[in-house]
Chains A and B, each alone.
Chain A
Amino acid sequence: MNEQHSEQIIDSFLQEMLTGQSPPDLSGKIVEAWEREQNLVRATPIAAPTNVPVHQVASGQASLWNSTRPLAKPARRRRGQPTSFGRNAIAAALAVVACGLLLALGSYWLKNASQDSLPVAKQSVTDSATVAANPTEDDSSSPTVTSNDAQPDNNSALARTLPSDSSQPSPAVAPTSELLKIDDLPFALDANSSGTRAETSTGPLPELTVQPQSPRLSDVEIVRGIDQRLSQLWRDLNLVPAGQLPPKQRALRVAQRLTNQVKAEQTLAALEASDRQSDLAELVAQLTQTNEFAETWGKHFSGIWFGQTSLSGDDQRVQAAARRVSEFISSRQPFNQIAVELLGGPVGSASSAAVEGASTSLSDTLVSALAGNGNHRLVTRIGNDLLDTNLTCVRCHDSNLVAAGSAGISQLATQEVYWSLVALLQGVEVNVGEDKVRRGVDRQLQLLDSGKPLVAYYDLLDGRLQAAQPLLPDGTRWNQPLSPQSELAAQPRDALARWLSQSKGLDRATVNQVWRALMGSPLVASIAWSGDDPVEQLSLRARRELQLFLADQYRQHNHELPRLIGWIVQSDAFARRPLELSQSQWLAADEAQLRQLQLGQLNFAVGRPPVSTPGGNSLENSLVSILKWKSELQPSAANSSDVTLAQPLPSVNPTEGSRRAAAASLQRSPLKSVSYALFGEQPTPADEYLVKRLLASPRLSWEQCVEHVALLNPLNVLNGRIKYLADELLQQHSGDARAALLDLMWAVRNSDHNST
C-alpha cells in the first residue's frame, strides 16, 4: 500500500476532526440542481428531429445488447466532445439566464405535479438529458429517445427513480428504438447472412459444429495428415508447390530450426541419414533431447510472452524467465502447464527480489512487464499469446470481424469477455519505484479480504454503462473448481491461469506459435478475415482446419511440445524450397503471377525463412519507409534498399514500366521475401474488404480507423508518433482514406512480418 496515500487520507480526517468541518448535506443542492437541469430542458423548445435514424437490433442479435436494460442512452461521446463538466457549465449558464422564469415554472410544477404528469415528465427528462448532455451534437447523430420506465411515483413530486432493475421491465415501455443497428458496427455480419454464425457465406464453422473427437493418431499418421491437408489445399488453389530440399539440406534445416545451430555431430548424423522418413524422425527425436533444443525454444517462447513489453531483453528477469522456460521444456512436462507458472505463480513480495538478479517467477516477470494502466496490455497479451485471439477490438465493442468471412472463429470475441478478464485481474498491479524499475504487485487477496467486489465497468457503444463480473472466458465463475477433482483456486488470477492451461485456445495458440517459428508465418492469424474472395475463404478454412487438427492431436498427446515440433518439421511443407527469384523477375511479374506467388507463400507451398525473434521491423519504421518512398517521384539508386521496394500504391495502377525501371536501377541480391513486392503492389481482397468495412461505418473517426488497423497486430502500440505518421500518410494521399489505410495495412504486415 502506498504510504503517501495513507498519510494523505489520515491527514484529511485529522483536519476534519480538528477544524470541525464535516461533510455538508448537499442532498438538497444536488436534487435542486438535477431538477433545474430537467426543468431547463423542459422549458426549452426542442425541435423535432427530421431525420433521426431509427435503429433496431437485428433479429438474433439481442443477446449482444442486453436488451433488458430499460434506459436508452444517447450515442457514445466521441473524443473531443464536451465532458460532463463542460456540459454542466453550459447548462448552468443557461440556467442563470432563464432563472426567473424557471423559478416561476418550478413552483407551478411543484404545486400541480401529479402521478398522471410524471410519465410524460420522465420522457421529457430523458429528452432534456440528451440535449443538455450533448448540446453540440447534430440531430442526425442523436438517436430517438425512448421513455423511462413508466412507474407510478408513490412519493413526493421531487422524487425521481433511478432505472429499475432489468428483471422488472416496465410493460409501459415501447420496444426501444435506441439500440444501435448491428450494421453500424464496423464489422457487422454481412447483409446476406441470416445473422447466425453458422450461416455465413463461408459455411459451417468447425468450432461451432459438434464434431466427434478425432482419435489419437500416431506420429506418422499426423505428419501424413498435415501433408494430405496441405496437398489438397494446393490442388484446390491450383498452386504448384516449390521443389523439395534434398535430404541433406532438409536435415540441416531441421537441425538449425530445432537447435538454432548446427552441431557437428548432428550434422554428420544428418548427412549420413538416408532418404527414409524414419531416419528423419530419429534425427528429430535426438535433437529434441538436447539442451540446445530446450534453450532455443525457451528463448523463443520467452520472446513471445515478454517481448515488446516494458521490460527490455536485457532485464535480468526476462533472461531468468527464458532460462526457466528452457528448464520446463527440458523436464518434458506437459507444456500447457506453463500457463499456470506464467500467470498463476507468486508475484511481488511473494517472489524473490527480482531486480538484484535472483531468480523470480514467470508470473512476477509477466506482471512487471505488462500490468498497470488498467491492465489492458496484460489482457490483450493473454488473448493473443495464450488464447489465440486478438482481443484489442473487443475492448470497445463486440467483434463480428472474426466471424464474418472466416472459417472457424474464436467464441471469445465479445466485450463482456474482455472486461470480465479485466475484472479477474483487479488487484494485479505494478509499482514503479524511485529507481524506475517496474515491480509487479498482487493485491487480490487483500481485495477479497476487504470484501470489495471485483467489478469492471465499461461503456457499451451506445453509451450505456455495463458492469462485468470476474468470470472466466467461458462464463464460469472463478471460484468454482474446474473439475470435481481439482482444488478451488485461492484467487482469480490463479483460477484464470489454471483455466488457460486447460483451454483449447492455448492449444491453438501453441500450434500457431510453433508453426510460425518453423514455417515463417502463423498457420492462422489471430484476427483472420477473408472478405468475399472465395479463394481466400477456402484458404483460411483449410488452414484453420489444419490448426484445429494439430491442436487436437497435441492435446491428445499430452501437450508434448517436442512432439508437436517434430510433426511440423517432418511435414512436406517444411521441406519446400524458399523463393529464389531475382528482383527483376519479381518486379517484372504480372499481377496474376504475383497473386499466385502470394498465395503460394501464404499457404506454405513455398518455404520462408524462420522467425528468429517474434518482433520484426517496427511499425514506425515501416511507415517511415512508405512516406520516404512516396515523397520521391523516382527512387534513386542511392536510396536504401528498405525504401525502394516499399511501394504500396493502391491508388495508382502499377505499371510494368515503372517496376522494370525500378528494377533496372538496382543492383542488389535476390529478394528473400515476397511481401515487399507483393503487398506493395496490390492489396489483397481481404485487406480491401477490411478497409471498406471500416470506412463504411458512420461511427468511426479517422483516428479510430487507424487504431483498428494498427492493432491488428496486438504487439503494436498506438502512440502519438504512429498517429502522426498515419496523418502524414493521409495527407500524402490527398485525403484518400482508403489508400492511406491500405498503406497502413501494408506497414502493419511488414512491421512484424509474421503476425498477420
Chain B
Amino acid sequence: MKSVATSGQPPSQTDTPQPDSQPLEIAELVQRHQAMVWRYLRALGADAALADDLTQDTFLEILRRPLEQYSDSATASYLRRVAHNFFISRRRREARMTVTEHADQFEHAWIRWAGFDAGNQLLDVLKECFGRLTDRAQLALQLRFSDDASRQGIAERLGISEHGAKNLMQRAKAQLRECLEKRL
C-alpha cells in the first residue's frame, strides 16, 4: 500500500506546495506527464485514438492557461482534471452518457492504483501477478483483452461452457486484484 505518512504520526501536509523556481520546457512537461494522461484517458474508457487526441488537447489547454508549477503531483492532478473534463465533453457531444462524472472518486482510485509514476509500477506488478495465473486463466484473459473475443469464443477455445468461461475470468481477475493489493 502506497503511503508517505510516518506510521504512528498523524499525517500532515508538511510540504506546502511551492512553485518551482524554474519554468518547465514544454517538451519536458509533455514528456513527464503524457503517459499518465494517456493512460488515465484509457482508464476512463477512451479508445487509443481518442486518448491520443484528448492528450494533445489537454496539453495544449495547459499551454494556453499557464499555472504555477507547485509540484509534479499537483500538476499531474490538474492535468487529469482537464483530461477528464475533455473526455466528458466529448462523450456528451456524442450523446453517450455512460461516463463517470464522479471525478473525485475516480481520481482517488487512480492514485490508489497508479500512484505518481504514471502507472509504471502497477504495470510491472501486474505482469508479475499475471504470470502467477494458470495457463487457462491467462489464455482466457488474453483472448478477452487482446483479441477482444466474445465469451462464447473464449468458451469454445477453452472447451468449456460460456458460464464456465465467465467464472474463469472472474476468478482470474479476483486473483490479480488480490495479488496487486498485496504488492502495491
Q: Which residues of A contact B (CB under 8 A)?
A: 1-2, 4-19, 21-27, 29-31, 33-34, 37, 71, 73, 83-85, 88, 129, 133, 155, 158-168, 426, 429, 443, 445-455, 457, 463-465, 467, 469-470, 477-479, 488, 490-491
**A165: contacting residue among B19, B43, B56, B177, CB under 8 A:** B19
Contacts of B106 in A (CB 8 A): 2, 5
Cβ–Cβ contact A1 & B25, under 8 A? no
Q: Which of A19, A463, A490 contacts B145 (CB 8 A)?
A: A19
B102 at the interface (CB under 8 A from A): yes
When the two chains form their complex, are residues A85 and B86 in contact, meaning their CB atoms are under 8 A apart?
yes
Partner of B11, one of A162, A448, A455: A448
Are A37 and B108 closer than 8 Å at their CB atoms? no
In the bound complex, CA of A449 to CA of B8 (Å): 12
Given contacts A1-B109, A12-B42, A13-B122, contact A83 B89 (CB under 8 A): yes
Q: Given A448-B13, A455-B74, do A10 and B180 touch, yes or no (CB 8 Å)?
A: yes
Decide: A23 and B35 in contact? CB cutoff 8 A. yes
Using an 8 Å CB-CB cutoff, how does the interface string of B110-128 with A read, 1 for contact, 0 for none? Answer: 1111101011001100110
Residue in A5, A160, A161, A166 whose Cβ sees the most chain B Cβ within 10 Å: A5
B-chain residues with CB within 8 Å of residue A477 when the two chains form the complex: 16
> A642–B163 Cα gap in the complex (Å)?
65
A26 vs B33: C-alpha distance in the bound complex, in angstroms?
A: 11
Q: How far is the CB of B105 from chain A (nearest CB, A)?
A: 5
Contact with A along B125-158 (1 / 0, CB 8 A): 0110010000000000110011000000000000
Pair A159/B25 contact, Cβ less than 8 Å: yes
Q: Which residues of A contact B34 (CB under 8 A)?
A: 23, 25-27, 30
Find out whether the CB atom of A165 lies under 8 angstroms from the CB atom of B74.
no
Tell me the chain B residues, 6-20 only, with Cβ under 8 Å from chain A.
Answer: 10-14, 16-17, 19-20
- Among B16, B60, B127, B141, contact of A30 (Cβ-Cβ < 8 Å): B60
6 contacts between A and B (CB under 8 A): A5-B102, A8-B44, A11-B145, A165-B19, A429-B105, A469-B16
Shortest distance from the beta carbon of B51 to any chain A beta carbon, whole Å: 8
Cross-chain contact B19 with A167 (CB below 8 angstroms): yes
List the interface of chain B (C-beta within 8 A of A).
Answer: 2-5, 10-14, 16-17, 19-27, 29-31, 34-35, 38-39, 42-45, 48, 52, 55-57, 59-61, 63-71, 73-74, 77-78, 81, 86, 89-90, 100, 102, 104-106, 108-114, 116, 118-119, 122-123, 126-127, 130, 141-142, 145-146, 173, 176-177, 180
Q: Are A488 and B26 in contact (CB under 8 A)?
A: no
Q: Are A445 and B70 in contact, with the CB atoms below 8 A?
A: no
- Asked whether A445 lies within 8 Å of B11 as measured between CB atoms, the reply is yes
B25 & A2 in contact (Cβ 8 Å cutoff): no
Chain A nearest Cβ from B121, distance in angstroms: 11
Task: Knowing that A34-B26, A159-B25, A457-B78 touch, tell me 8 more A-B residue pairs with CB under 8 angstroms.
Answer: A10-B173, A12-B39, A13-B122, A13-B126, A17-B123, A18-B142, A23-B34, A465-B67
CB atoms of A162 and B52 under 8 A apart: no
CB distance from B116 to the nearest CB of A (A): 8
Contact check, A84 vs B141: say whether CB atoms are below 8 A apart.
Answer: no
* Chain A residue nearest to B103 in the complex (CB): A374
Q: How far is the CA of A5 from the CA of B106 in the complex (A)?
A: 6
Using A84-B57, A448-B12 as known contacts, say yes or no to A23 and B38 having CB atoms under 8 A apart. yes
Tell me which of A12, A162, A470 contacts B24 (CB under 8 A). Answer: A162
Inter-chain contacts of A17 with B (CB < 8 A): 123, 126-127, 130
- Set of chain B residues within 8 Å of A30, measured between Cβ atoms: 26, 30, 34, 55-56, 59-60
B48 contact set on A, CB distance < 8 A: 21
State in angstroms the CA–CA spacing of A8 and B98 once bound together.
Answer: 13
Q: How far is it, in angstroms, between the C-alpha of A452 and the C-alpha of B20 when the chains are bound? A: 17
Q: Which residues of chain A have C-beta atoms less than 8 A from B126's C-beta?
A: 10, 13-14, 17
Residues A455 and B77 in contact, CB atoms below 8 Å apart: yes
Q: Is the CB of B39 within 8 A of A13?
A: yes
Question: Is the pair B13, A479 in contact by a Cβ cutoff of 8 Å?
Answer: yes
Cβ A6 vs Cβ B39 within 8 A: no
Contact B66 A453 (CB under 8 A): no
> In the complex, are the beta carbons of B56 and A26 less than 8 A apart?
yes
CA distance A477 to B146 in the complex (A): 50
Q: In the complex, A71→B71 CA distance in Å? A: 20
Q: Is the CB of A453 within 8 A of B19?
A: no
Contact partners of A83 in chain B: CB under 8 A: 89
Q: Which of A6, A18, A164, A445 contacts B113 (CB 8 A)?
A: A6
In the complex, A18→B111 CA distance in Å? 22
Which residues of the partner chain A approach B127 to less than 8 Å between Cβ atoms?
A: 17
Chain A min CB distance to B180 (Å): 7
Report chain B residues within 8 Å CB of A12.
Answer: 39, 42-43
Residues in B neighbouring A161, C-beta threshold 8 A: 23-26
Chain A residue nearest in CB terms to B38: A23
State A463–B126 Cα separation when bound (angstroms). Answer: 42
Select A479's contact among B12, B55, B65, beta carbons within 8 Å.
Answer: B12
